[in-house]
């Protein structure tokens, strides 16, 4: 679960990290009130779950109360990469020129089977960009998941990274960040920029915080922070069914299968067949007719989907159960798009018999995944052309 | 022979009285695996269809000589179940459970590694964790410690298979079976970001196995395990290796079902994996059926 900046800051504050003060506002009037209360220049920052807010104009320095109101009007309701800004964080502005900006962060790193702490003396930049351009500028250090980061390690990393300022205070902040990451099951936590003022004291100006979805059961106090508005409506619905579903951009073929690997490969096969997958949907193993029915219903709701490709390799999944689910969707009038499926495994013949009985051109079974994907791609692409034709007419 | 599991493996099922544990214990027995015990704390003294159930793994080891554990315990208790088996010195621990918190896995993997080293220093056989979020492993015609469909692995073949995915493992196994090549041992290493055993850990076992002629590696986007495998192959492997990468058309920043299947920045991209395999001289199949063609070609060289 991705957290907003203000939420990440709140978690870090709970672990004793010094963070830049701020208040959340939903209207320009509230922003004006906060700016008046602070009585100094503020920064108005869009709170949305996407990177690159600054570049998109979602973060604005506001030297006066009037300017803060004006900026809030601009930012609230703004669209950043498809997400509408519904709230902003208003913080006291910091005189960046009076200090220096660094980067510290921790990520789950499968290569070291633990967290890797990253530190860099060039703050404010996106770490991905920096990693691509100047990887040598980033100091990396494996954090022991049992002990967490210890102060001497933090000092070592800070020295290697070339951090200037109060070494003990900076190391202490890094240790506290590590404590927060471990205690709150972070997948990623970043303090960027980490501002060091003229006295050498560190302050977290911005943060990214993402929590491991598998660990949410022990962070029930944070469940209120889950924002379905930021997710695709179909992803929200899929979550209710317990499906692993990802909406994909610019697709025209709905894809579903049993198992993450087979669905990933199905996306590749659709691409290869000259169409674009509109989603990733894993219905899991041993799926019964009802689950397939729900999956077909969900994918059918997607207006981007012009044809559906079902790819099942049955070990525990029965082909006739899959067929029953699809047929039910057809009979209830939910299924209006062609379904092209490949179901290998147990009870294939029973599935074929069921489909022969229904005898609908909308549902076809193929002997392998390539033929099924090609048929779905052809249907989807020709549907697209028909639409384009009618639009121009 | 085969690697990791064989006809002599004595399996304890942790979570045998649960639905998944019970169903798969039954399927493993049907395959011919020696399922010697089950463990469910609080249900010691009962039996599961003739298999004795104990309160602890240590008891199952002591009473039945279990030397492989397979874990079906729900996510919140899964890492603890791993540590229980490791501290009972079970040499091979297979974690099937999906959805274990990553921090729990980090701690468990680190502790198992420490116990492994101590065990080896004391003259033991070592302690290895496979998974989590994996389908387990199977030595065809010998023993299955996993959840894969039995029919694909009934007869012994000569191709070793290592995979991050479940269903793709079955798919590849089936294709190799239909082609008359068959599999020697199949190892599902799991789709989570932090796992006990990686591709590079399994490769040397296949290299040393006289009954394996070639190895198929089925990778996917996310992480750099495939890159590490390529490096290992270039430096140490004499047997031919063929690879497959799934998720090549997946967009960056989106998790594709598996917790570990995500491209983050420039890490985990298919391009990086393809380049690593190319540099190591490992042919990469573009489609699943092409795996069979490439294996045949490699064997005929």
Reported as a single tens digit per residue, the pLDDT across A117-127 is 999 998 777 77
- Residue B54 host element (H or E): strand B51-54
What whole-number percentage of chain A has pLDDT above 70? 95
**Mutation target among B27, B104, B167 for the A interface, most CBs of A within 10 A:** B167
Residues A94, A101 contacting (CB under 8 angstroms): no
Whether chain B has a CB inside 8 Å of the CB on A145: the answer is yes
β-pairing, B143-146 vs A22-25, is unpaired
Q: Tens digit of pLDDT for each residue in A243-266?
A: 889 899 889 999 999 888 889 999
pLDDT band of residue B211 (cuts 50, 70, 90) is very high
Whether chain B has a CB inside 8 Å of the CB on A130: the answer is no
Distance between CA B285 and CA B293 in Å, rounded? 9
The interface predicted TM-score of the complex, written ipTM, equals: 0.90
Average pLDDT, rounded, for chain A: 90
- Residue A170 host element (H or E): helix A167-183
Distance (Å) from the C-alpha of residue B110 to the closest C-alpha of chain A?
8
Whether chain B has a CB inside 8 Å of the CB on A272: the answer is yes
Q: Give buried/exposed letters for A292-325 (b at 16+ CB in 10 A, else e).
A: bbbbbbbbbebebbbbbbbbbbbbbbbbbbbbbb
Residues B242, B267 contacting (CB under 8 angstroms): no
Residue A367 has pLDDT above 90, yes or no: no
β-pairing, B143-146 vs A83-84, is unpaired
Alpha carbon of B19 to those of B44, B48, B73: distances in Å? 17, 12, 10
Which of B109, B259, B264 is opposite residue A113, by nearest beta carbon? B109
Closest B-chain CA to A267: B249
Q: Check CB contact under 8 Å for B266 and A246.
A: no
**Mutation target among A127, A315, A316 for the B interface, most CBs of B within 10 A:** A315
Which of A115, A246, A369 is opposite residue B254, by nearest beta carbon? A246
The four Cα atoms B66, B71, B73, B79 give a dihedral, to 10 degrees, of 100
pLDDT given at position A283: 87
Residues B31, B153 contacting (CB under 8 angstroms): yes
* Residue A133: CB atoms within 10 Å: 9
Task: Enter the pTM of the model.
Answer: 0.91
Which of A128, A269, A282 is opposite residue B257, by nearest beta carbon? A282
Structure token digits, residue A118: 């990253």
Q: Tens digit of pLDDT for each residue in B101-115?
A: 999 999 999 999 999
Residue A392 has pLDDT above 60, yes or no: no
Q: Check CB contact under 8 Å for A262 and B255.
A: no
Residue A370 has pLDDT above 60, yes or no: yes
Q: Check CB contact under 8 Å for B106 and A257.
A: no
Closest A-chain CA to B24: A316
Residues A281, A263 contacting (CB under 8 angstroms): yes
Q: Pick the range with the lowest mean pLDDT from A110-119, A123-132, A191-200, B173-182.
A: A123-132
Q: Pick the range with the lowest mean pLDDT from A42-46, A111-115, A133-137.
A: A133-137
pLDDT given at position B266: 67
Distance between CA A149 and CA B118 in Å, rounded? 25
Q: Check CB contact under 8 Å for B250 and A264.
A: yes
A366 catalytic? Reply is no
Q: Check CB contact under 8 Å for B163 and A244.
A: no
CATH top-level class of B10-131: alpha beta
The four Cα atoms A81, A283, A261, B34 give a dihedral, to 10 degrees, of 150
> What's the whole-number mean pLDDT along residues A91-97?
91
pLDDT given at position A316: 64
Q: Check CB contact under 8 Å for A110 and B247.
A: no
Q: Which residue has the tokens 């996993």?
A: B146
**Mutation target among B225, B249, B289 for the A interface, most CBs of A within 10 A:** B249
Q: Which residues of B touch A248 (CB under 8 A)?
A: 251, 254
pLDDT given at position A386: 57
Q: Which residues of B touch A344 (CB under 8 A)?
A: 174
Average pLDDT, rounded, for chain B: 93
Which residues between 155 and 184 in chain A have a beta carbon less than 8 angstroms from any beta carbon of chain B? 182
Which of B170, B259, B287 is opposite residue A214, by nearest beta carbon? B259
Which of B249, B257, B265 is opposite residue A131, by nearest beta carbon? B265
Most confident of A202-206, A310-314, A358-362: A202-206
- Length of chain B, in residues: 301
Q: Which comes out higher in pLDDT, residue A124 or B193?
A: B193
pLDDT given at position A17: 97
All CATH 3.40.50.261 domain ranges of chain B, comma separated, are 155-300
Helix count and strand count (H, E) for chain A: 12, 19
Q: Which residue has the tokens 């911005």?
A: A206
> What's the whole-number mean pLDDT along residues A200-204?
96
Q: Which residue has the tokens 């598998």?
A: A214
pLDDT given at position A230: 64
Distance (Å) from the C-alpha of residue A34 to the closest C-alpha of chain B?
35
| Residues in Cβ contact with B194 at an 8 Å cutoff, skipping those fewer than 6 apart | A108, A110, A113, A114, B102, B105, B106, B109
Q: Which residues of A touch B167 (CB under 8 A)?
A: 257-262, 285, 313, 315
Distance (Å) from the C-alpha of residue B63 to the closest C-alpha of chain A?
33
All CATH 3.40.50.720 domain ranges of chain B, comma separated, are 10-131
Across the A:B interface, residue pairs with CB atoms under 8 Å apart total 157
> What's the whole-number mean pLDDT along residues A371-388?
83
Distance (Å) from the C-alpha of residue A22 to the closest C-alpha of chain B?
29
pLDDT given at position B1: 66
Phi, psi of A299 (to 5 degrees): -65, -35
* Residue B105: CB atoms within 10 Å: 31
Q: Pick the range with the lowest mean pLDDT from B54-68, B71-85, B125-139, B256-270.
A: B256-270
SS3 A81: coil
Q: Give buried/exposed letters for A337-361 (b at 16+ CB in 10 A, else e).
A: bbbbbbbbbbbbeebeebbeeeeee
pLDDT given at position B258: 74
pLDDT given at position A159: 97
pLDDT given at position A389: 42
Structure token digits, residue B72: 């079906």
CATH top-level class of B155-300: alpha beta
Whether chain B has a CB inside 8 Å of the CB on A116: the answer is no
Question: Could you tell me the maximum CA-CA distance found in chain B, to the nearest angstrom?
Answer: 57
- DSSP track, A282-296: E--TT--HHHHHHHH
Q: Which residue has the tokens 């559906």?
A: A308
Q: Which residues of B touch A374 (CB under 8 A)?
A: none
* Active-site option among A5, A101, A153, A190: A190
């Amino acid at each position: 679960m991705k957290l907003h900046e203000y939420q990440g800051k709140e978690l870090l504050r709970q672990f004793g990290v010094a963070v830049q003060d701020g208040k959340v506002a939903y209207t320009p009037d509230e922003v004006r009130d906060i700016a008046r209360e602070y009585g100094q220049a503020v920064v108005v920052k869009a709170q949305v779950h996407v990177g690159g807010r600054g570049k998109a104009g979602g973060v604005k320095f506001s030297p006066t109360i009037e300017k803060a109101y004006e900026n809030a009007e601009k930012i609230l309701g703004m669209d950043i990469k498809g997400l509408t800004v519904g709230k902003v964080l208003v913080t006291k502005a910091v005189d960046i020129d009076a200090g220096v900006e660094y980067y510290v962060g921790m990520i789950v790193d499968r290569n070291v089977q633990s967290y890797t702490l990253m530190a860099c003396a060039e703050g404010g930049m996106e770490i991905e960009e920096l990693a691509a351009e100047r990887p040598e500028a980033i100091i990396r250090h494996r954090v022991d998941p049992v002990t967490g980061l210890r102060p001497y390690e933090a000092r070592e990393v800070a020295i290697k990274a070339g951090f200037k300022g109060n070494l003990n205070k900076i190391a202490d902040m890094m240790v506290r960040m590590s404590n927060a990451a471990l205690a709150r099951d972070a997948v990623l936590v970043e303090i960027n920029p980490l501002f060091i003022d003229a006295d050498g004291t560190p302050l977290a100006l911005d943060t990214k915080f993402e929590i491991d979805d598998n660990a949410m059961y022990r962070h029930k106090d944070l469940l209120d922070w889950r924002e379905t508005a930021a997710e695709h409506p179909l992803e929200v619905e899929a979550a209710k069914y317990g499906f692993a579903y990802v909406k994909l951009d610019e697709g025209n073929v709905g894809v579903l299968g049993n198992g993450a690997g087979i669905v990933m490969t199905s996306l590749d096969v659709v691409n290869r067949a000259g169409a674009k997958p509109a989603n990733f949907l894993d219905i899991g193993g041993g799926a019964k007719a009802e689950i397939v029915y729900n999956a077909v219903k969900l994918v059918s709701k997607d207006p981007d989907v012009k044809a559906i490709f079902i790819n099942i390799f049955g070990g525990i999944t029965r082909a006739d159960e899959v067929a029953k689910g699809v047929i039910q969707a057809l009979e209830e009038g939910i299924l209006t798009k062609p379904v092209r499926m490949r179901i290998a495994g147990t009870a294939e013949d029973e599935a074929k018999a069921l489909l022969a009985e229904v005898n609908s051109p909308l549902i076809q079974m193929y002997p392998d995944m390539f033929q099924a994907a090609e048929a779905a791609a052809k249907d989807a692409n020709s549907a697209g052309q028909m639409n384009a034709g009618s639009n121009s007419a | 022979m085969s690697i990791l599991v064989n006809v002599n493996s004595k399996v304890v099922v942790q979570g045998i009285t649960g639905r998944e544990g019970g169903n798969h214990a039954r399927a493993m027995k049907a395959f011919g695996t020696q399922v010697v015990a089950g463990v469910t704390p609080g249900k010691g003294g009962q039996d599961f269809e003739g298999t004795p159930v104990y309160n602890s793994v240590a008891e199952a080891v002591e009473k039945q000589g279990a030397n492989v554990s397979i874990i079906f315990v729900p996510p919140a208790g899964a890492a603890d179940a791993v540590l229980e088996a490791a501290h009972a010195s079970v040499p091979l621990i297979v974690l099937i459970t999906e959805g274990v918190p990553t921090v729990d896995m980090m701690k468990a993997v680190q502790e198992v590694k420490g116990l492994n080293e101590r065990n080896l220093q004391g003259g033991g056989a070592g302690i290895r964790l496979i998974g989590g979020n994996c389908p387990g492993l199977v030595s065809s015609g010998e023993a299955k410690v996993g959840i894969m469909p039995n029919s694909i692995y009934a007869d012994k073949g000569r191709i070793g298979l290592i995979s991050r995915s479940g269903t793709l493992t079955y798919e590849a196994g089936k294709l190799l079976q239909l082609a008359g090549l068959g599999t020697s041992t199949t190892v599902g290493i799991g789709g989570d970001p932090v796992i006990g055993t990686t591709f590079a850990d399994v490769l040397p076992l296949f290299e040393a196995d006289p009954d394996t002629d070639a190895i198929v590696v089925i990778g996917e986007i996310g992480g750099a395990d495939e890159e590490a495998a390529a490096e290992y192959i270039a430096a140490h492997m004499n047997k031919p290796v063929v690879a497959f990468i799934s998720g090549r058309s997946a967009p960056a920043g989106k998790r594709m079902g598996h917790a570990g299947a995500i491209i983050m920045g420039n890490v985990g991209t298919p391009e990086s994996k393809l380049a690593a395999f190319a540099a190591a001289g490992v042919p990469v199949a573009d489609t699943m059926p092409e795996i069979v063609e490439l294996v045949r070609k490699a064997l005929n060289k």
